[in-house]
Every structure is written in C-alpha cells, then in structure tokens.
Structure 1
C-alpha cells in the first residue's frame, strides 16, 4: 500500500491483538473519525506503537475497534518517523499535521456527499477549507491546536472555575457574520433557492385554490417593472445584512472543520454535560445538536469513546472576558500586531543608540567564484527554463549560486539536507542535481507549491528528493544541513532553532525582518544573551528599519546595518550553542535587497 496514514498508539501490538483495545492520542482519534466518515479509496490506516507515556503526559483515548493494524516503530519508514503524528505517506511525499492529513482524506473520499455540504464537498468552495497553515491562519490554528489543547485540559481538570477561553471564542465566532471570500455569491444563491421554494409553495397553493373554468373571470394584466429591485444583493451590501448564519462552523455548509470539531466537542459534552453548554454556550449547543442530528454523522458517534463517566464539578463557574471577534482572520475587529509600525525616526535612532560595541557581527562580501554553467543544468533545476518571470531569472540564478556554493563547501556524501520553506523547490532541486549522493527534503506547507516542485523532480528522474508538506513545527527528524532562502520573518528563526536542536549545519538567507513579532510564543526576542540590553520595542523597531533597503533610497545604508543587527543576534544565539558562524553578503548585492548569508558549523 503506497498511500497510508500513520497514527500514534500507546498500546503494544501484542496487547491490542489480545484485547482489541487501543490507547491513542486525541489527534489520532480525530483523524481516525474523519477516516471512518470518508472511507477514502486506496488509503489505509496504521497505528504505530510508541513507548509507554509518563504520568505527566497528555491523556489517552481508548479505541475499541477490531481489525486495526498496529506496528512497532522499526517497521515504519524513516520519513514518517521524522514528523509528528498524524502522518500520511504517499510514495515520495509526506503530509503531516491534523488539518493537512484530514484534507488529504477528504480528497480521496468514497462516501456520498451530504445534502448539507457545499457542491464541492467537505473542503467547500475551491477546496479551501483549512488550507492555510496554522502559522498564518487563526481558524486553522483553532481547529488544529487550540481546541485540541482545550479538550486535553478539560478531561484532566477535576474542578473548573471558568469556561475555557477557546469555548468562548468559538461561541463568539458563531454569533458573527459569515466571512468567506465568496460570501456575496453564496448569499445570492441562497436567496435564489429560498425564492424558488416560496414560489413553489405559492404555485401549489394557487393550484389548490384555483376556481374551475366556469368560475373564472378575466383579470386585468399586471405589468412587471423592469427596474432593479432595491433589495438586490451586491458588493455594497453589508455582510451583516446578507442573512447568512453559522448553521455550521464555517457558515451554511457542513465542512471538514465541523468533522474535526465534532470529536472534540463530543468529548467535552460528555465531560461537562449538555446542560452546561445549553445554558452558557447556547450557539455552540445549537451547532452541536444540528450536526449530530445528521444521519451520516450519527453513524460515527459511537466510535468516539466515553472518556469519563464522572461528572465535573461546575458549581459557580464563571465566564471570562474574551475579545468579541470571530475566528476569521478577515474580521476587521481582530487585533493585528503588524499594523503597528515601529519606524519613527526618533525611535529608530534611540534603538540604535542602545547597541553596545562588539554586539554586531562583522559582515563580508561573499568571495566565492561561480563554477556553475547554467547551460549544463537540466530544465527542472534551471531558472532559465521558464519557471519564473523574465525579470526575476537572473537575480534568482545568482541567489541560487550563492547558497549552493556555500552548501557544496560543507556537504558530505550521504548527508540529509532540508530545504526549509522551499516554495516550489528552486534551491532544493538545484542542490539535488549538484549533490546526487545526498538526500534532499523539500519542506513546505503550501500544497500547490510542492506539487509544482514534484512535477519538475519527476520529469528530471531525480531519486534523491522527498517532499514534506507540513508546518515547521511538525518536522522533528534529524538532518545534517538546513538551508532556507528568504524564509520570511519568524520563519527564519524557526528554521535556525530546528538546525540548532538537530546540531546541524545551516545556510540561511533571511527575509522580511519587519515581520518578526512577539506574538509567537515559541520565539523570544532578542534571541541571544549578547543582545539582551535591547528591549522588545527597540528590537522590533530595528527589525522594521531593516526592511528599508530599497534601491536608490536614502535610508538603504541604515537598513542594511539594521539587517546585520538582527542577523548578528541570530548568529550570537548559534555561537551560544557552540557554533562557528560567519555572516557575508550575496554576490552581486543587486541580486536581492535581503542579501545577508548566515553559515553555521557546529563544533
């Protein structure tokens, strides 16, 4: 079986085959429920046994199913073990993360489409449901991370003093106008459907009340106005006036998001009781009753285990104050930290004056001499083959030469090289061509970008490339070299952290310094102890100034220095982990305004 889903289990295979009972994680349970609902073609599920968990680990959920496949880790491909579960392997492609794996299942579904679904099925309009990764989508993060953690908290808490914040957030979301990119077209279609239903009812009523021929009398003809009706829906209509409600999680249609949330809320309804939801979260209660009344959904409810028969003490439970916004990123009321720009001249000068001598790393020009003849590079790895607009071809080829040369100098046969945030694979595919004795992983969270890269790799018949569709968080494997060309903002820091944790060499060309922010709790700025004399506002101010590197701009020189400051902080962090780090600039400087190159070698 080339297409297989791997879920984690905490029960040894021999024990399962004796008792037909499996302890699994919540993410595995949600994925399995979606699998049972969709019954995808040419796709099976395997549970991987992991070592016994400690008392302080997350709770487990019992699955009483027969004929499941349970294997030990030694029987699992290394690519699968390089990611957090759930994981899907399809030939040379790995998909990791709850939402991405769930989307794959839906695309290969064999069960019939429900009347409650959009015409395009569970993935809704243009197959976009939960498509954006949780790093950039508030809604995906809620379904993939936030609500999962809330369930784990609920099932391990003996007494709850206040309603979990994420339950309030979902309740507020259901009370807000539906915000999807085709909402006006949707409103027109629903209005047309409602009008057709009303007209049909009138037609039936009139036919029943219609007098016989002998009783008919001639009536004067009524003229219809050709004027556009005042209540016709167009883009000037306020979204609040479209009369579209959250019958389901994303609006009027049943989607994959409802399936993911179903399992989570089923467990919380068992733990907290339906009365708690009906009285404190009435819209959530209505949503839950609505989806659990769908016959096909009812059929899978029994698979979800009874987690606890012990009722929770909810005496004097309170409702915390939460921002009254929906979970859509487009909600205009949502706080957007990027709207605040730290670029006032006085702020920048004050931030720069806080720097001390010796903090900044010296920057040199890259001294490499190009030995690459693009005429000899196959089309799939060659920017000149038409994969890019003409205005970008030369600059992209120069960027690739710089990074490839740096990797060639530190790579050894047999190395595993990860091209983080690979996009459509320009750098990774080029490295795969230059280093046939190394294995290359293209790691990217955008499905379409990886599909384009995969097509080119297959046309070149390269056998040393694997494709990982996942967020950076989900990749946990060991590797020898990490590379990233223009990973935006925080992504460059996440890539650096991956390399440091794996004790791997790195070649990084960062980008979008103004996008570094304090909203990601995985990253603390400044990164190194060397720069701890800067406070957060000063640091972010320098980051924003680092993006002032436009050609022929009077602030370009200062912008380049600010880039060097942020990258010096990153380099100092690596040095504190025992690395030797050099920082240079790409050659020629005109190949990109973001031209710093960090190369790190562990001791």
Structure 2
C-alpha cells in the first residue's frame, strides 16, 4: 500500500454488493467526490467497514468500490478518517487528505482554475491546519457540523450561523495574492473578447480588397494599454472584483470541499435558500455551471434529497467578517492580556500551601556523545541558524536522556508538535529498537523532517501530518519540546488517555485560554483559583527573560502552572516529577514534566 486513501463506511462489502447502496459519513462522501473529480492514477481508494450508525448518508454508486479485506494497518487505525497512507507518511484530516489527492491529480484542469491548479497560488489552498486557520476550520469542521445537524432535523426555525458566516464572507473584498495583476488580466481578457467580437462584426461588412487599418490598430493598442492600467493605491474593495468562487476569481479545492455540503443544504431548503442566502446560491450556481457534465456533478445528482420545513425561518445576525480574517471571538495570542501588578499579586496570594510542587533537579548520570550522532540528526542539520544550534543541542540532550531513561525496547514514542523533527530524530537514533512517530500539522515542517530522515536512511521513524485531535492511537511515551500554550495541555491529555509516559517541556504560558476540550485550572488541587486568576499567573509566567526584574516572579508563576498540570496527572495515578533542564540558559522556558503511570 504505497499510496492509499482510506474512507470510513457504515456498510459491509457483501451488503454493498447486493444493493449497490453505501452508507458513509459526510467526510467520506466529500473525499470520494474529490477523488472522482481528480481521478488520481497513482492513488487507490479503500473503504473501511465499521459498525453501522444513523450518522452519515446513503448513496447509490454504480462504479466499483473496494473494501479493505484484511486488517486495517495500525498506522491508519490510529487516526480519524479519512486517512492517507503514503509510504512512511500518514495524512489525516479532510483538507489535508483532499490536498494530497489534488497533488496527484490526473484529470483535466478547468479553464477557471488558477494556473497552478486547484491548490492555487504556491499550492497553498487550505494548507494551514484548522487550529490556526479559520478558513480551514470552516471547511473541515464548522460546515460539516451544520450539515450533520440538518440531516438530523426535520424542522428548522433558524438558519444555522455558519451559513450566514459564509454569506458574509462572499460579500467581502477578495483576498488573493497579486490581486492587481488579476484585475489587469481580467480586463485584458474582457477587452480582447470585445475587440474580437467587434472585428468579427466588421469583417462581415468589409468590401473585398480593403487596406489594413494599421494606424487604427496602433491607436487601439495605445488606448488598450491605458485601459489596462490599475492604480495599486486603489483599495481592494474598490477594484470591482467579487467572489465568483469561495476564494475569489478562481475555482479551488475549497469549492470542491464545500460543494457537496451545500448541495445537501440547498436540497433541504428548497427555493427558500436563494431568498435567504442569495450570494451563496449564486456561488453554488457558478460551480455547478463550471463543472457541468463532470463526474462530480453526476455524483451529486444521485444524492438522495431531503426537504426541511423552513416556514418562517429566522435569519440570525453574526459578525460581518470574512472567514479569512480573525473572528472577533477567537482568542488571539498576539493580543496579550495586559494584567495589572495588583491582579498578578492577588492571584499569587490565592495559591495556598500544598498546591505548588517542589522543583527537583533531573537526575541524569550520563551524556550524549554527539560525535557518534550523524550530522542529519544534529540541530545543525535541521535548518537552524548558527546562534540557536548550541542552545537547541542542550535542550534536546535534556529531553532525549530522560526519554532513554524511561523507555524500553519496542516502545512506540510520539514526538508531538515535532516541527522539523529535532527531538524525535535524535531519540530514534539513540533508541533504534523503538519506533518514533513525528506528529506535526504543518506540511512543510514535516517534509523537511522526512528529507533529513531519508538522507540518513533511518528506518524506525514514521511521519504523521495531522492535528493532535486527529491522532487517536495507543502509544507508550509522549514527548513534546516547547509545544506552545494549550498544545502542551493537549499533549498531556493524549498521554493520560493512552496511559502513556510523558516527557514535556512547555512554553508560551501567556497564550493559555479556555477551548472546547480544555478547562483551566486543570486539577482539583487548583480548583479554588478563578479562570481570571489562572490567566494572570499564566501571563506573568512569560516574564522570565534573562536579567529581567520580574524573572524570579515569572519562574514561580511558570512553576505554578506546571504544578497544576502535574497535579492533574497525579489524579490519573501517575508518578510525576517537575524538574528543571540542565543548562538553564538554554531556554527561559526550562521546566520539565516527567510522568510515569503507577
């Protein structure tokens, strides 16, 4: 299985053979539509039959589909579907899988696509993970939740907020790279079409033998050049370029992902949809006309329609913002919480005796002989500037030695938020009888890690391109070096759920914030603190710069937050150590949490 897309299905192979009807979740349906549209010759598709459920939808397929006959590879089973298994790399998440399919496309390119194809300029369409991109989250999470809600209800009293958000998005100025050049090109095509039409009309009335109008042609070219000029000082909203498609004037992968969901929605709403959401309906018609006589349209037309009762439905108001821009309700770490001194001191005074843990020194009796480590596994081989190499080397040595101390032969070790693989690659070299997973949601970072590993010929490393929440597999040790803010807590939760050992060096305490899966404080020991007090302490914990007058207080605040994390692990029956990295100067964020299940 060199390059396979795995989709979840609620139908068995034998049932499908008898009825030609398949029951699949919405994510599988969208992925299947994109697969059929792109026709990737190098990518095969397999359905994984799971327990039947009311979730999802049924559709009749005339073409042959293949089910997994044997056991699903464990690498695939450890992720949320859809999943791609591409050699030693696992890709999961709807947008990431769809991007992979597009990258191997063999189908015909539409004239209304960007010159670089469905992935757009620099192949960047939906590249950012949904944890940092509102647009990716909308396409991958929000709109899917809305469709599932529609499929589960019979009567609608209010238009789902996410539909209004997309309608507002289509009102906003187009945000694409080199928008002024695009406007010039559009003017050029318009003028060219107008001139050709006029020239064709004139040619029908010219007498034979008429002399060429060279002077007039030169004049036309001069006027044309003036008309093509675009003043780059003009505001984008005044350029008269609208959202013909979801991301602007070109059809992209985002349109293909959204189209099946909106097809379901429009079938459910009926004629009311155009009245309620006119711009969205126009966008839908644009795509349907653009892709007419296409395999994707044939699939959608087979989809069983459902009608809702939408009488007197209410259209709610939402923030009138583009989905490219930061939602005003979204936490923005750059907009720091500037607390007052009194707030911080009051929060610290609320820490009672027994809450904070003693910080111990990590007991490490040996060191790493870096002369025996290949250059590709050293920080200097991982695209780091020279001034950071020494400090990064010290950080890696601290964590790698602890991992070596708690690991045993055959362990599966996950380097969460691995970036370019500095820590995970070193651990794999030091523990050749263990398997290391580099888990990172940024495609380019993981590609750099993969390049390094392949150059060295290391065989005990796997690559997972996904968000933390898409990884659901069992493992033995979880490690994370400077996973920012809430990511350290998400890693901790993954380890606790898997009953795995953990070695975590947190950072970015000031960007902690409450999200759907996390509530602060984390432990019952710290429950007497309010969220506001906790965030004050987290904010002050970032004041640990060298020679800073507030460094000492910042270190205490940092220890308080990590004590709360350690207390949570203790509630899960873990033995936990809170220590400091050796070579404290290697980073101001030098706390180290080590946990071992009892």
Q: What TM-score does the superposition give when structure 2 sets the normalisation length?
A: 0.93
Change (3 A) 1:523 1:183: farther
Deviation of residue 222 (structure 1)?
8.3
| Residue 271 in structure 1 maps to residue 268 in structure 2 | yes
Change (3 A) 1:417 1:223: closer
Deviation of residue 442 (structure 1)?
0.4
Cα distance in 2 between the residues matched to 1:243 and 1:453: 43
Which residue in 2 is equivalent to 1:258?
255
- 8 Å Cα contact 2:59/2:304 also seen in 1: no
Change (3 A) 1:386 1:356: closer
Cα distance in 2 between the residues matched to 1:453 and 1:501: 27
Deviation of residue 183 (structure 1)?
2.8
Which residue in 2 is equivalent to 1:541?
536
Cα distance in 2 between the residues matched to 1:351 and 1:200: 74
Which residue in 2 is equivalent to 1:585?
580
Within 5 A, what are the aligned runs for 1:135-150? 135-150=131-146
Secondary structure of the structure 1 residue equivalent to 2:464: strand
| Residue 403 in structure 1 maps to residue 403 in structure 2 | no
Q: Could you report, residue by residue, the CA deviation over 1:11-44 in whole angstroms, capped at 9, with x for unpaired residues?
A: 1222222332221111001000000000002111
Cα distance in 2 between the residues matched to 1:505 and 1:146: 33
Deviation of residue 201 (structure 1)?
4.9
- 8 Å Cα contact 1:267/1:306 also seen in 2: no
Which residue in 2 is equivalent to 1:532?
527
Within 5 A, what are the aligned runs for 1:270-349? 270-273=267-270, 275-296=271-292, 298-304=294-300, 309=305, 311-329=307-325, 337-338=332-333, 339-349=335-345
Change (3 A) 1:372 1:313: same
Deviation of residue 98 (structure 1)?
0.5
Q: Could you report, residue by residue, the CA deviation over 1:557-577 in whole angstroms, capped at 9, with x for unpaired residues?
A: 111111111111111111111
Within 5 A, what are the aligned runs for 1:542-561? 542-561=537-556
Q: What TM-score does the superposition give when structure 1 sets the normalisation length?
A: 0.93
Which residue in 2 is equivalent to 1:243?
240
Within 5 A, what are the aligned runs for 1:487-526? 487-518=483-514, 520-526=515-521
Which residue in 1 is equivalent to 2:25?
25
Cα distance in 1 between the residues matched to 2:82 and 2:244: 29
| Residue 388 in structure 1 maps to residue 384 in structure 2 | yes
Deviation of residue 198 (structure 1)?
4.3
- 8 Å Cα contact 1:291/1:297 also seen in 2: no
Q: Could you report, residue by residue, the CA deviation over 1:190-246 in whole angstroms, capped at 9, with x for unpaired residues?
A: 334334444555655676788997999x99x989999x9799535532121122111
- 8 Å Cα contact 1:420/1:482 also seen in 2: yes
- 8 Å Cα contact 2:267/2:306 also seen in 1: no
| Superposition RMSD in Å | 2.6
Change (3 A) 1:501 1:225: same
Secondary structure of the structure 2 residue equivalent to 1:302: helix
Cα distance in 2 between the residues matched to 1:429 and 1:565: 31
Change (3 A) 1:310 1:191: closer
Which of structure 1's runs of 4+ aligned residues deviate more than 6 A?
A: 205-216, 221-226, 228-231
Within 5 A, what are the aligned runs for 1:461-472? 461-472=457-468
Within 5 A, what are the aligned runs for 1:7-156? 7-53=7-53, 58-71=55-68, 74-156=70-152
- 8 Å Cα contact 1:162/1:318 also seen in 2: yes
| Residue 233 in structure 1 maps to residue 255 in structure 2 | no
Cα distance in 2 between the residues matched to 1:374 and 1:121: 45
Change (3 A) 1:560 1:223: same
Cα distance in 1 between the residues matched to 2:329 and 2:203: 52
The count of aligned residue pairs is 593
Which residue in 2 is equivalent to 1:446?
442
- 8 Å Cα contact 1:7/1:28 also seen in 2: yes
